[in-house]
Chains A and B, each alone.
Chain A
Amino acid sequence: MSDLETTERVLPSNAPGEDVAFEILGDGDFPTAEMSLSIGPAHPATHGVFRIVLDLDGERVRGARPVIGYMHRGFEKLAEYRDYRQIAALTNRHDWLSGFCNELGVAIAVESMLELEVPDRAQWIRMLMAEWNRILNHLMFIGSYALELGAITPMFYAFREREDIQHLMESATGGRLHFTYNQPGGVKIDLPKGFLKRSAEISKVTRERFDDYVDLVLGNEIFQGRTVGVGPLPQDVALSLGITGPTLHATGIAEDSRVTEPYLKYGDIDVEVPLGENGDAFDRFYVLLHRIRASLDIIDQIHDHMPAGPVNSKLPKMVKAPEGAIYVRTENPLGQLGYWLESDGGRTPWRFKMRTPSFSNVQAIPYLMQGALLPDAISILGSVFFVVGDIDR
């Protein structure tokens, strides 16, 4: 029971920006109980079937436990029963927002094992598509993160741009989400007539509209109030948890395999890696947004470099990777994607292991949510940028 005679002044230690002292009447023994709140697997903020169990004291989060696996589809095992061309249709499904970038990893792995020289044009086309896919992915997260903070409009704006880009990619690949355009040895088919012109036009339009996002979302006072200083991630924690992509770049570490270990023709062009400073939610969003501009710069360079020539190399009907193993890492929109491919010389892989960026990135959630407020927990959840299919595979 509470004794109302004694008084005590306390400063809430964890609350962001708190400088107001509260006076607690009594001995402070007002009986409170922690409440366990299960967010998900079906919840608007988890975009998919991700579940997170929060221990709440009022609105303050005392502990957070992510529960994953609701969307496990067994892609690694399924890949052991598909030949090397068919795997592309599996891999563009684990992170459904970056289908093309996923296929790319498999194609590069098989080609490296075959020691196959891929035609130049195919490599430049792959880069072009990968960067457009990166922009598609980031636009989606810009919309959905703003939605998690309660702003409904950016989602519709992002989808306006996404629609143009999806039309563009559809004209070459025939797919809007699952492209299945990569094959060992190149890409499925050459670009249609007028593709580069249309691509340049969309690049220009998207660049013009990019400023709108900076003004309307990044420059919004309430957006800044909800994100600045929320969920800061120190560099050492980020590195020890294996976090990559925009979430890592926000802490100021410029590890991007397009720069540090270039694949395709990324070595021939300038790749800018936008960096943050504090690693908080605002920086993560800032990096994500500015990666769109960086990708548009890359796309413009690719337009200038695009050579003529074949887009595929002659391969037997059944591609068989030689006996051995390889690990290929590529910079996916959400972070580092690694494929470990082990072959016994047969027509299917003997073992196919995925290292997906979302899986590593969600490891930061318990650390980031400790001591946050419930609305901040949602802000943090959205700002580590994950796709549930990419966590569970």
Chain B
Amino acid sequence: MTVLTSTTALAQAPSILDVGDGVVLPILLKVALVLGLFFVVPLVGGYLEHKVMGRMQNRRGPVEAGPFGSLQLVADGIKFIQKEDIIPRAADKPMFALAPGLALVPALLVFLVIPLGPGVFAVDLELGLFYALAITSISVLGILLGGWASANKFSLIGGLRAGAQLIAYELPLIITAITVAVMAGTLSLVGIVEAQANFTLPGLEGFNLWFVFPQIVGFAIFFVAAMAELSRPPFDMPIGDSELVFGYMTEYTGIKFAMFLLTEYAGMITMSALMVVLFLGGWQILPGVATPGCEGAAGIMSCDPIGIAISVLVTLAKIMGLVFLMVWARVAYPRLREDQLQRISWLVLVPLSLANLAFVTILTVVL
């Protein structure tokens, strides 16, 4: 019987943070990495959203807080901490307090498995993809709980809409992720990146492709489903500020409200990161291009420090590119109606993703 420790539990590729022989130091470093990612990258994404929206809407976005307004979200966070924490008298107090945490913690835990570069991750689980998708769907529990415990009709409708939306969009999301796993032959996120670096279409050997090219339909389904699951406009019916005031967040103030907001931004980043890993070749610069300073399989593994830095920057740039697309959709489109959203999922996305899965599976078996 094997003993499971932090470094061996289901883990495959070693992390660069596994330094020394001890157990404590690697764990501390990994916690620092995950917390750093969680608190910094979403803020960068949020800043990008503010600025991009501003420019698209004939205004400048934040300019005052920090250089070019880059500390606006930090300032907002400080403001939220200072605000009075109001709990409605009719609310179910323990549940009301629990809800933002229940939404936030899963968003934090996903960062455990997200690989930013060769070795730059906390842990490479064998079931990394499964873990990431399973953990992200816990967030909606917090949202449902918040909607119910607020004792507010707008919150209730918002919470129930979020629940309905999750059930509808989790399905195409997971089916598409399975399709990619079938193509890669592994559920490990690092393994999927490696598989993409070696992927070629039959008949075109020697011509490396990312999964987004053969799987453009799958990528589109995943992108739409991810936006719907994150309640990002045009799928923001659970918040729907012109209908439901602020949906499940209506009664929340101060730090609890900030936790919900941070969940949304972190979700944007994790979903984008998953898309980068599943479809856009992870930290590879371009299909078939080796990263400078790296050697090993397809020239993206076993890197020196410069290669690692380049890889991390490439991943972050790809993530921000996807965040940009999400912001663009927010600026360009009005909100769908809940029944239209359900119809898109059940009548279009689910059959399409199932057909896609069947097609890919048959091809994989045959070839």
CB of A68 closer than 8 Å to a CB of B: no
CB of A86 closer than 8 Å to a CB of B: no
Contact B337 A225 (CB under 8 A): yes
Contacts A222-B334, A222-B336; is A156 near B57 (CB within 8 Å)? yes
The stretch that binds A, out of B100-108, B134-142, B234-242, B292-300, is B234-242
CB of A373 closer than 8 Å to a CB of B: yes
CB of B233 closer than 8 Å to a CB of A: yes
A373 to B343, alpha carbons, bound, how many Å? 15
Chain B's closest residue to A377 (CB) is B243
Min C-beta distance of A89 to chain B, whole Å: 33
Contact B58 A59 (CB under 8 A): no
Min C-beta distance of B161 to chain A, whole Å: 8
Contacts A150-B236, A153-B57, A157-B58; is A226 near B242 (CB within 8 Å)? no
Within 8 A of B (CB), among A336-383: 373-376, 378
CB of A45 closer than 8 Å to a CB of B: yes
Q: Which of A37, A156, A225, A375 has the most CB of B within 10 A?
A: A375
Contact B242 A147 (CB under 8 A): yes
CB of A15 closer than 8 Å to a CB of B: yes
Contact A376 B245 (CB under 8 A): no
- Classify chain A: how many residues form its interface, as a range: 20 to 34
CB of A176 closer than 8 Å to a CB of B: no
CB of A220 closer than 8 Å to a CB of B: yes
| Dominant secondary structure of chain A at its interface with chain B | helix
Contact B245 A44 (CB under 8 A): yes
Residues of chain B contacted by A4 (CB below 8 angstroms): none
Between A and B, how many residue pairs show CB distances below 8 Å? 78
CB of B340 closer than 8 Å to a CB of A: yes
Contact B333 A59 (CB under 8 A): no
CB of B126 closer than 8 Å to a CB of A: no
CB of B331 closer than 8 Å to a CB of A: yes
Min C-beta distance of A182 to chain B, whole Å: 33
Contact B334 A220 (CB under 8 A): yes
Min C-beta distance of A228 to chain B, whole Å: 12
Contact A373 B337 (CB under 8 A): yes
Question: Which residues of B pack against A, CB within 8 Å?
Answer: 53, 56-59, 153-154, 157, 233-234, 236-237, 240-243, 245, 330-340
A–B pairs, 18, beta carbons within 8 Å = A35-B153, A37-B153, A37-B154, A44-B241, A44-B245, A45-B243, A148-B242, A150-B233, A152-B233, A153-B56, A216-B332, A222-B234, A223-B334, A226-B334, A226-B337, A374-B157, A375-B337, A375-B338
